[in-house]
Structure 1
Amino acid sequence: MDEVEVVVAHSERATLRVGDVFLKVDADQARIDVEVEAMSLAPVPTPEVLWCKPHVLAVAALPGTTVGRLGGPSTGSPAAWAAAGAAIRKLHDAPLPPRTGGAGRSVAELAAELDDECASLVTNGLLPAGLVTRNRRVAEAALRPWTAAFTHGDLQIAHVFVDGDEVTGIIDWSEAGRGDPLYDLATFTLGHEEQLDDVLAGYGADVDLDVIRAWWSVRSLLAVRWLSEHGFDPFAPGCEVDVLRSRM
């Protein structure tokens, strides 16, 4: 008999695995609705939706493994990273979805959220003021107009699966929608700066590297407190705090 594996769990959502089935339980039904819609529109491999009921989505497991993990070594070949870049480009070139996603906040909204979070990080003693101030300056490059694309919105390295040098699927689409394509590239390469050239080789387009670096700072600054409060460790080697330190 298969065991129930808790993949991730916190107060907002939980993902369980039973055999080859993943059950996603979310307090916000809207996030499940966004995920199902995005997977139906995305021109890249996604998990098969087995069924969907209020607050629960069941999807099939994907073949393959991720190319690495945040805080750990890269396990994928350069060709696998390039294949991931090509899949991301295919998504970004697709027709725009109807919704604005997690990568689509306005510049003013993002700047205000970032300033509030930076103040909180320092006031509560989570991070040194100098580290926060330096990364807030780096983050400024991300606060500019962009041309909206179909974005995943939470394209963590753990959300892209490959088998050899082929992308077999991308999971967790609850933040998908119209947004800044460079946010996706930055999220995917967070903590793995050394793989950025391979990803961009597959992506096949010139990008502003300063903006990608800025998004690394933005995402890390916005994540540290939330992760700490929800049972994760952004201070682990290679994770968000180390990403911020690398900008010094």
Structure 2
Amino acid sequence: MDEVMDEVKVVVAHGERATLRVGDVFLKVDSDRARIEAEVEAMSLAPVPTPEILWCKPPVLAIAALPGTTLGRLGGPSTGSPAAWSAAGAAIRTLHEAPLPPRAGRAGRSIVALRAQLDAECESLVANGMLPADLVTRNRQIAEAALRPWTASFTHGDLQIAHVFIDGDEVTGVIDWSEAGQGDALYDLATFTLGHEEHLDDVIAGYGTDVDLGVIQAWWSLRSLLAVRWLIEHGFDPFAPGCEVDVLRSRM
């Protein structure tokens, strides 16, 4: 009898990395060996559920699929009960209170470097006609509130809702740790609730401590401004309903 082969599915792919699914195994291919090493290290240190690492032979990392489903994706409908969103908030708080990892992550970029990158990106967005000047100017003003001193936490660095898996009201795992490291906790909370502002209260209730909502809103603007050109250049559509450009428009 012929052996039945699992179908190979492309989960996401662009010039820097790709993720494939073969049955219950995910294969992450990354051109940057340091990112794979950082991901393996972060998963070993994180105090929240993460996928089982099956093997790692750079540039490929093989991990097992997680049970459950994600809470949704940017630009798509969100799923899960308020309790599920609160459970995610509690898991994020557990991560943020863990001992610091040795590396700086995406959420740990210096204020000086981030401000310079943001200003250059805003100038490019307007000069190349990607976004209207008033939209960029307003969101650049809002984004300034995120550029303040912060206390380092263990951050995921790319905590999109598509990276958090839920079964019922329980978090079963968090994936994609390549940007993890020391950083600003509110960056994670902002990334997780980007485009799903209606669930922010549930997430904060689970997180269990007061946070500066103005800074979270500032990160929504900042993250979206930095993402638009990169997404376009890598074949994604930030103008799709509910995505980054709609997030920017909602701040007007």
Which TM-score band applies after superposition, normalised by the shorter structure? over 0.9
Paired residue for 1:193, among 173, 193, 197?
Answer: 197
List gaps (5 residues or longer) in structure 1: none
Q: Deviations over 1:203-243 (max 9, x none)?
A: 00100000000000011000000000101110000000000
Point out 4+ residue stretches in structure 1 off by more than 2 angstroms: none
Q: Deviations over 1:89-136 (max 9, x none)?
A: 000000000000000001101000000000010011100000000000
- 1:212 alignment counterpart: 216
Instruction: Give 2:55's aligned amino acid.
Output: W
**Within 5 Å, which residues of 2 pair with 1:90-239?**
90-239=94-243
Cα distance in 1, alignment partners of residues 91 and 203 from structure 2: 10
Instruction: Give 1:212's aligned amino acid.
Output: I
TM-score (norm 2): 0.98
Cα distance in 1, alignment partners of residues 58 and 151 from structure 2: 34
- 2:33 alignment counterpart: 29
Cα distance in 2, alignment partners of residues 35 and 128 from structure 1: 37
> How far apart are residue 193 of structure 1 and its match?
0.3
SS of residue paired to 2:239: coil
Cα distance in 1, alignment partners of residues 70 and 150 from structure 2: 29
SS of residue paired to 1:167: strand
Cα distance in 2, alignment partners of residues 163 and 54 from structure 1: 31
TM-score (norm 1): 0.99
Cα distance in 1, alignment partners of residues 22 and 70 from structure 2: 19
RMSD: 0.4
Cα distance in 1, alignment partners of residues 225 and 72 from structure 2: 22
Cα distance in 1, alignment partners of residues 70 and 25 from structure 2: 18
**Within 5 Å, which residues of 2 pair with 1:38-53?**
38-53=42-57
SS of residue paired to 1:103: helix
Cα distance in 2, alignment partners of residues 154 and 74 from structure 1: 18
Instruction: Give 1:88's aligned amino acid.
Output: I
Cα distance in 1, alignment partners of residues 124 and 66 from structure 2: 39
> How far apart are residue 73 of structure 1 and its match?
1.5
Cα distance in 2, alignment partners of residues 2 and 127 from structure 1: 43
> How far apart are residue 74 of structure 1 and its match?
1.4
Given the alignment of the two structures, is residue 14 of structure 1 paired with residue 1 of structure 2, yes or no?
no
Cα distance in 2, alignment partners of residues 123 and 156 from structure 1: 29
Instruction: Give 1:17's aligned amino acid.
Output: R
SS of residue paired to 2:166: strand
> How far apart are residue 42 of structure 1 and its match?
0.1
> How far apart are residue 68 of structure 1 and its match?
1.6
Instruction: Give 2:155's aligned amino acid.
Output: T
Equivalent residues, number: 248
Instruction: Give 1:144's aligned amino acid.
Output: R
SS of residue paired to 2:80: coil
Cα distance in 2, alignment partners of residues 98 and 126 from structure 1: 38
> How far apart are residue 180 of structure 1 and its match?
0.1
Instruction: Give 1:231's aligned amino acid.
Output: G
- 1:88 alignment counterpart: 92
Given the alignment of the two structures, is residue 62 of structure 1 paired with residue 66 of structure 2, yes or no?
yes
SS of residue paired to 2:108: coil
